[in-house]
């Protein structure tokens, strides 16, 4: 039994030894099998080919970049030539028309507008927009009011003599404020005052004039010592005397625009006539009158034909 086990062991070990001897015989000079050396050679060949491809790709990219660079240089040269021609054209126009003021840059105009508005804050006429009545209004009416505020502010920036505007009874967490921010780009940087206080507590009552179409007194002039109030109310249901009654509660003087004095009703198919104007339309009238001291011209600026009124002299 022992001999058979030893014999079987020898028979098992014999092929292993033969395999090891075969491997030793196939080993190269560097001690690695020839098969592994062949694999190493193939890998080196692939790397060399990869280097060649990479080099070729780099050369191709360089040509592409050079082509784009030449194209960009042509564009830059064309722009420089165009600017030079435009500069020469403006110079020739100034020589032909010496009385015309040169055009200013947008940066200069923005700075000029800012200076005018800040000057109005200290010495200009004052206008309050009473926004304490927004609880009367629907979401649609709030959106319309936000648009009117944007147009009013835009007109004030363009005015030669702007008003200093104050939005009173206006909270930053109100639906109207959200609409103003949503609809008006840069609303948070508007050059005006925003306060939660009521307009009747900000200024002496004797200096206030509430402009309302329900007043019995026509506005005769724009007094720089007065503070004019516009009711920030868009009411499609036309609730009567809302702003007028509020002014009477505080015993504040009221006035209406002199539409009846300088305009007459114009016949139209709908037989519609209204003296109720948007706040930006009222502002355009006040601003134009402050510049021209001419009520017909000012009313023509703000009262659209859709209101059913025309100037008296246009009828005659």
- Answer positive or negative: Cα dihedral of 93, 95, 101, 105: positive
Residue 88 tokens read as: 């020469």
CA distance 85 to 177: 48
Q: How would you write the pLDDT of the chain (316 residues) with one tens digit per residue? A: 444 434 444 444 444 434 444 444 444 545 555 544 444 444 444 444 444 444 444 445 578 888 888 888 888 889 889 888 888 887 887 777 766 555 667 788 888 888 888 898 888 899 999 999 888 788 999 999 999 999 999 999 999 999 999 999 999 999 999 999 999 988 989 999 999 999 999 999 999 999 999 999 999 999 999 999 999 988 765 567 889 999 999 999 999 999 999 988 887 767 777 788 899 999 999 999 999 999 999 999 989 877 878 888 765 5
The kind and range of the H/E element at 21 are helix 2-25
CATH number of the domain located at residue range(s) 107-257 in this protein: 3.40.1280.30
| Residues 6+ away with beta carbon under 8 Å from 274 | 307, 308
Instruction: Enumerate the domain spans of the chain.
Output: 107-257
Helices 175-183 and 139-158: crossing angle in degrees, nearest 10, is 50
Work out whether strand 263-265 and strand 309-311 pair parallel, antiparallel, or are unpaired: antiparallel
Phi-psi bin for 186: left (phi > 0), alpha (psi -120 to 50), beta?
A: left
Q: Taking a C-beta distance cutoff of 8 angstroms, is the pair 183, 112 a contact?
A: no
Size of the chain in residues: 316
């Amino acid at each position: 039994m022992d001999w058979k086990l030893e014999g079987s062991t020898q028979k098992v070990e014999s092929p292993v030894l033969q395999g090891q001897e075969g491997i030793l015989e196939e080993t190269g000079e560097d001690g690695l099998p020839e098969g592994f050396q062949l694999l190493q050679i193939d890998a080196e060949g692939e790397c060399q080919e990869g280097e060649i491809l990479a080099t070729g790709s780099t050369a191709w990219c360089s040509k592409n970049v050079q082509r784009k660079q030449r194209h960009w240089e042509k564009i830059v040269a064309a722009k420089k030539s165009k600017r030079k021609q435009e500069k020469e054209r403006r110079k020739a126009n100034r020589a032909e028309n010496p009385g015309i003021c040169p055009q200013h840059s947008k940066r200069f105009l923005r700075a000029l507008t800012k200076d005018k508005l800040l000057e109005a804050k200290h010495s200009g006429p004052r206008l309050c927009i009473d926004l304490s009545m927004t609880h009367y209004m629907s979401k649609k009416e709030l959106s319309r009011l936000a648009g009117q505020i944007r147009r009013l502010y835009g007109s004030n920036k363009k005015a030669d003599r702007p008003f200093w505007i104050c939005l009173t009874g206006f909270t930053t967490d109100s639906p109207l404020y959200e609409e103003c921010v949503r609809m008006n780009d840069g609303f948070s940087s508007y050059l005006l005052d925003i306060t939660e206080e009521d307009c009747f507590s900000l200024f002496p009552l004797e200096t206030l004039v509430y402009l309302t179409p329900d007043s019995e007194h026509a506005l005769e002039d724009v007094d720089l010592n007065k503070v004019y109030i516009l009711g920030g109310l868009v009411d499609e249901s036309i609730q009567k005397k809302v702003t007028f009654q509020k002014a009477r509660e505080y015993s504040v003087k009221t006035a209406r625009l002199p539409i009846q004095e300088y305009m007459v009703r114009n016949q139209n198919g709908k037989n519609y006539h209204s003296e109720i104007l948007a706040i930006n339309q009222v502002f355009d009238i006040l601003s134009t009158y402050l510049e021209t001291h001419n009520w017909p011209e000012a009313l023509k600026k703000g009262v659209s034909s859709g209101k059913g009124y025309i100037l008296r002299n246009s009828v005659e």
